[in-house]
Amino acid sequence: MDMIPLSKWPTFDVDSSESKESAVQVFILDSENIPDSIKTLAKHAKVSLESPEKYELRGGRHDGKLYFFGLMHPKIQKRVFTQRGLLDILLTRLSSRDINGAASCTIHLFNSDFRPEVLELFLHSLYRYTPFKEDGIKIKNIHLTGLLSDIWWRNFSSMFHTLGWVCFARDLVNCPPSLKPPEKLSLKIREQLSGLENISAQETIGDELLKEFDPIHKVNQGSNNKAVLLRIEYKPENPVNSKPLVLIGKGVSFDNGGQNIKTDGRTLVEMKLDMAGAAVVASVCGIVAANKYPVHLVAYMPFVENLYSSKSMKPGDVVKVPKKAEINAPEDYLYIEVGDTDAEGRLLLSSVVNHAALHDNPDLIITIATLCGTTESMLGSYMAAAMSRVNDLLLNIDVAGRTTDEPYALVRPSSDVIDECLTDYESEIASAKNVNWGVIDGDSLQAFCLIQSFAKKVPLLHLDICGTSFYRFKMTYKSKRRRLHGATGWGVRSVVEFLKRHYNIS
């Protein structure tokens, strides 16, 4: 088996010659304007096309095929909730025994009010990570046809193109932790990006990290696998930004807390998700390169395992971070006292943010991480958190989040607040602490302030996706968010949308 097995998502095409041969035919109809040919077909299938009170999916058989007719009441058929509810029923039916092994499905769109984002969400919901069990949905090929406007198809095509990369991010997170040690994660991402133009990759592995990335090496000390810092650069001709954009994603492939070990069994079983930030960054790189966006992009993904063992980093240890690009003596480092080994994410991000600010001369740094449980406690699975000192960055991510149905709660701390947080991080033996046990409130904000302090004068946008990256329970498709069990890919769409807005890319 592949070390990181991927999901088998259905293939998809538009106006395929095979559409008419599908054993399952679905018609999304405008209740006030049903073509005569569809009325005749429904009559043969013994299905009534009378307008429902809300929405219904009515099915029948004819000539060995299964037909579904999606109907919505005229007064509410434009509503997103109504359209999602209809496709929720379809999703359930495609999982039922009614399908009887059918391998393909054709969806015919006869409703011009049907929104492309709703259909995109439906296709997204067909995702299943089932390398280790029999999949409930047998449909392997989906054909889409319909007499809709060119603008509709362009909007849908743009949305659909990102789905493969979102599913890749979900696969990386859903994969069992023993199958994705740091070096295997890095290899899988490099393989996935290898066919794209203007992409280059560089790895820093194991003891090579000691000089410039000591926190990454120290966090991984308890593992028998080597830590890896993967650097991806996408540099097209004539980019719109003279200085690169830097993306940094936290990549802890499994986190049991180290010496400050986690004790909640429910939490531990989900700790394969702690590399969701890196998965988002990898997929954003893929989308940007595949679409040939004119943005110079540098991405860092520090991959580690934070494990308890006799070799683990201990509370009270110190890690070092370079003060400047050239390192010649111990005085060229800042030192951070480790107050909590389970607050490893801020150490990883601080190290890489510091390096990017010193060596890449970026115009903007974006960090993406499942960083703080306090963020999840505050926002649940409803919203992620976006933090920055720059108002324009927060405004753009706010619009991007609402556009892609990945909303963010915005936090813009003042200079005084940041200074106060950093004062609370003061250490008696080092330049700072990663956690101050005397100050237990505001941990998410304190973590951001520590990371921000290493960005120098470079604008920083921090996205904490702790509560939104992984859903613990199965949620209904028709609820407002994409609430299916497991990894969500939250951040891929909103970050891409943010980049398009920030750099005025159409």
- Which residue in 218, 226, 346, 433 is the catalytic one? 346
Strands 228-234 and 251-255, by their bridges, are: unpaired
Q: How far apart are CA 60 and CA 66, in angstroms?
A: 6
The per-residue pLDDT for 219 is 98
Task: Please check the confidence at residue 169 and state whether its pLDDT lies above 70.
Answer: yes
Question: Considering the domain 11-148, what is its CATH architecture?
Answer: 3-Layer(aba) Sandwich (3.40)
Mean pLDDT of 291-312: 97
The model's pLDDT over 203-246, given as tens digits with 9 standing for 90+, comes to 999 999 999 999 999 999 999 999 999 999 999 999 999 999 99
- Confidence tier at 493 by pLDDT (50, 70, 90): very high
Mean pLDDT of 131-154: 77
- Which residue in 115, 262, 472, 483 is the catalytic one? 262
Length of the chain: 506
Contact between residue 417 and residue 452 where contact means Cβ atoms under 8 Å apart? no
Task: Please check the confidence at residue 410 and state whether its pLDDT lies above 80.
Answer: yes
* φ, ψ dihedrals at 335, nearest 5°: -120, 135
Percentage of the chain exceeding pLDDT 70: 92
Residues 6+ apart with CB under 8 A from 76: 54, 55, 82
Q: How far apart are CA 1 and CA 72, in angstroms?
A: 45
CATH superfamily, domain 168-502, is: Zn peptidases (3.40.630.10)
The model's pLDDT over 18-67, given as tens digits with 9 standing for 90+, comes to 566 788 999 999 989 999 999 999 999 999 999 999 999 999 999 888 99
Examine the residue annotation and report whether 54 is marked as an active-site residue of this protein: no
The per-residue pLDDT for 334 is 95
The per-residue pLDDT for 397 is 98
Q: Strand, helix or coil at 66?
A: strand
CA dihedral 233, 238, 240, 241 (to 10 degrees): 50
Q: Give the least confident one: 95-109, 154-168, 462-476.
A: 95-109
Examine the residue annotation and report whether 262 is marked as an active-site residue of this protein: yes
The model's pLDDT over 470-489, given as tens digits with 9 standing for 90+, comes to 987 554 444 444 446 789 99
The per-residue pLDDT for 322 is 97
Q: Compute the mean pLDDT over every residue in the chain, rounded to the nearest whole number.
A: 90
Domain positions in the chain are 11-148, 168-502
Nearest in space to 352 (alpha carbons), one of 467, 214, 239, 224: 214
- The CB density around residue 230, as the number of other CB atoms within 10 Å, is 26
Given this chain, do its domains 11-148 and 168-502 carry the same CATH topology? no
Helix (H) or strand (E) holding 412: none
Q: How far apart are CA 388 and CA 90, in angstroms?
A: 41
SS3 readout for 97-150: HHHCCCCEEEEEECCCCCCHHHHHHHHHHCCCCCCCCCCCCCCCEEEEEECCCH
- Confidence tier at 6 by pLDDT (50, 70, 90): confident
Mean pLDDT of 175-203: 97
The per-residue pLDDT for 480 is 44
- Please give the DSSP secondary-structure letter assigned to residue 338: -
In DSSP terms, which residues pair with 298 in a beta bridge?
A: 233, 246
In DSSP terms, which residues pair with 228 in a beta bridge?
A: 205, 303
Q: How far apart are CA 313 and CA 423, in angstroms?
A: 24
- Confidence tier at 9 by pLDDT (50, 70, 90): low
- Please give the DSSP secondary-structure letter assigned to residue 155: H
**Most confident listed range (104-108, 134-138, 152-156, 253-257):** 253-257
Q: What pTM, to 2 d.p., does this model score?
A: 0.91
Contact between residue 438 and residue 354 where contact means Cβ atoms under 8 Å apart? no
CA dihedral 29, 32, 34, 35 (to 10 degrees): -140
The model's pLDDT over 249-288, given as tens digits with 9 standing for 90+, comes to 999 999 999 999 998 877 888 899 999 999 999 999 999 9
Mean pLDDT of 102-125: 84
Helices (H), 196-291: 214-219, 265-269, 276-290
Q: How far apart are CA 288 and CA 162, in angstroms?
A: 10
Helix (H) or strand (E) holding 501: helix 492-502
Mean pLDDT of 180-198: 96
CA dihedral 92, 98, 99, 101 (to 10 degrees): 120
Contact between residue 85 and residue 54 where contact means Cβ atoms under 8 Å apart? yes
